[in-house]
Amino acid sequence: MSIKSFAAKIFAKVVKAQIDSWANNPLKAQEKVFNQLIKQAQHTQFGQDHQFSKIKNQQDFSNLVPVKDYEALKPYIERVKQGEQDILWPGRPIYFAKTSGTTSGAKYIPITKESMPSHIKGARNAILSYINETGNSDFVNGKMIFLQGSPVLQEENGIKVGRLSGIVAHFVPRYLQKNRMPSWEVNCIEDWETKVEAIINETISADMRVFSGIPSWLQMYFERLQERTGKTITEIFPNFNLLIYGGVNFEPYRPKFESLIGKPINSIELFPASEGFFAYQDSQNEKGMLLRLDAGIYYEFIEADSFFEENPERIGIADVALGVNYVMIISTNAGLWAYNLGDTVIFTSLKPYRVLVSGRIKHFTSAFGEHVIAKEVEEALQQAVAKHRVEVSEFSVAPQTNPETGLPYHEWFIEFNKQPDNLTTFAQSIDEALQNQNSYYQDLIQGKILKTLVISPVVENGFQRYMKAIDKLGGQNKLPRLTNDRLLADKLYELKLLETNDE
């Protein structure tokens, strides 16, 4: 065992004890965070506008600070962008993480000197928790790849601006600098397809042991490697033994990844976002990710089923229940207050608090009142894939409300790596699994309001071509699993990316 590997095990044990100290006292940890946030921000413009000086508890906060999305917070952020101080948080941010918005265009998410360390510690502690549990630390001696956005940052009124993954690249610990790949120069390449080829050139002969990134990025990289060599990933990199991923549910990707890699592989799931690093997988044996309750983030939750009501109830972690789909609301030491992140989560454990990301509150299909969510379509597809032994690369679901003939239906756009023997039977299996999870959908099918879902196979690399066509290939962009309109569907037809169309 190398000195570096031995030191990693010792450090992992120390950090695990620190994690246990707050994970075993979750309510106290959240109360401490809440009080610190209110105290530090009470003299900011936002704090004065919302009477922070009168806030003594969560109920006061809920009464005085309504839930806000980015649009509601944008007037404050615009003032920060103009160089004003003490608006959302004392002083000014050190960075803006620029993300792709929808209704609001680009979003500028503040990162402060208090919040930045949390992003770094989240990823670090995820790896150290893995080392402490498994005893596997040999990977620290080899090369690690972190598929990221460009670390080249712009500047607006003295505040550096870039993608979160590019910002984080400036904070890779010194002891990992020699292990990290790709090179700084390759990381700076903006065009994603060019960048992937350059990464392959740098890594194909290296002793790669850890791969990290959004699954769709990693899949593209692995597929290009396989195309070039004709080998599985473990044949190319025999010492590869850890996959780190985040951003989307990995389960729909798992069969394809195991085929590309050539064997099952240990993995760590992360829950990072520009707004904060919220959770990470702390155990290989337990379902869900440990919610970080000591990281300068105060959490509230609203049941997804009641979220669009006029005054839905907001609760803290003390009152959450297992198995309920919640919208996660955050207040942070970056100056986000009662902020609707847009993600929905389900608690899998309350001792300690662990969550699964179940989808996006805006990503659902409910054109007929069924309110199907991402978790349901992902689980339905996963069951059908296992039953029929097929491989799926990517998929998205949209409603078809006005078919040329017959009843309306859900249209599933699926890019297969290995197609089922019978597409109709495969569609029926998905449909039955979806009905078993969603009683509203079941009622619509049995009441003959909807017919069984229809699968429209997407051509090879079709979703990549779609993302490139809308200028969202690479970066932190992810394909929506569900839409409630036909915009994505119509674009796939327009670009002739379906197997029934001529290319």
Mean pLDDT, each 10-residue run in order, the chain (503 residues):
86 95 97 98 97 95 95 95 96 90 71 94 94 92 84 91 87 77 88 88 94 84 93 95 84 82 91 94 95 98 88 95 95 97 92 90 78 86 93 93 91 95 96 91 89 96 92 77 90 92 42
pLDDT at 220: 84
Q: How far apart (Å, rounded) are the C-alpha atoms in residues 330 and 237?
A: 40
Q: How far apart (Å, rounded) are the C-alpha atoms in residues 78 and 313?
A: 30
Which amino acid, 72?
A
pLDDT at 485: 87
Q: How far apart (Å, rounded) are the C-alpha atoms in residues 305 and 476?
A: 28
pLDDT at 502: 43
Q: How far apart (Å, rounded) are the C-alpha atoms in residues 12 and 459?
A: 45
pLDDT at 191: 82
Q: How far apart (Å, rounded) are the C-alpha atoms in residues 360 and 478?
A: 12
3-state secondary structure 76-116: HHHHHHCCCCCCCCCCCCCEEEEECCCCCCCEEEEECCCCH
pLDDT at 395: 94
Q: What is the pTM of this model?
A: 0.81
pLDDT at 459: 96
pLDDT at 102: 45
pLDDT at 105: 65
pLDDT at 88: 98
pLDDT at 81: 94
